[in-house]
Amino acid sequence: MMKRVAKGLAVLGLVAMAAMPAFAKGPGDCRVQGKEGTSGGGYSGSASLTQTGAETWRIVWKIGSQTWTGFGIGNGEVVALNFTGGGRTGVMLLIAKEDGNGYAAAWAYTGEKEVGYEEWTKRR
């Protein structure tokens, strides 16, 4: 089972690397619209995604008066991040929109069972 998972991840990595030039969505500042889990309320804010290396990223995410910061890896089409703020930590997955105008995001606090969802739209 582990060999099959490792092999699948290796193939996925090769496909992602081959697709990098075509999917370079890149860093930028975005407007954020989201919902915290299935029972949570909606919110809005902003996020800034900065490329720090060939495949490393930094995020600053602001919702209301709260700020989270994080670090992640990815090719710009898909970016996986950890984040911290307000005494909490979590993980986030960004997937670039086909039109290149932002990201669809899913996130969760560490240890929680619900996932929050966001739409990021690049500011022009």
Q: Which DSSP string corresponds to 64-115?
A: TTEEEEEEEEE-SSEEEEEEEETTEEEEEEEEE-TTSSEEEEEEEETT-S--
Mean local confidence (pLDDT), 32-46: 89
Instruction: Tell me what pLDDT residue 22 has.
Output: 35
Closest C-alpha among 24, 69, 78, 17 to residue 48: 69
Q: What is the largest CA-CA distance in the chain?
A: 46
Mean local confidence (pLDDT), 83-87: 95
CA distance 119 to 31: 8
Instruction: Tell me what pLDDT residue 9 has.
Output: 47
Instruction: Tell me what pLDDT residue 3 has.
Output: 54
Give whole-number Cα distances, 12 to 51, 71, 95, in Å.
22, 21, 15
How does pLDDT run across 98-121, given as a tens digit for each residue?
988 899 999 999 999 999 999 999
Reply yes or no on whether the pLDDT at 56 is more than 90.
yes
Global confidence as pTM: 0.76
Closest C-alpha among 53, 49, 113 to residue 81: 49
Instruction: Tell me what pLDDT residue 67 has.
Output: 96
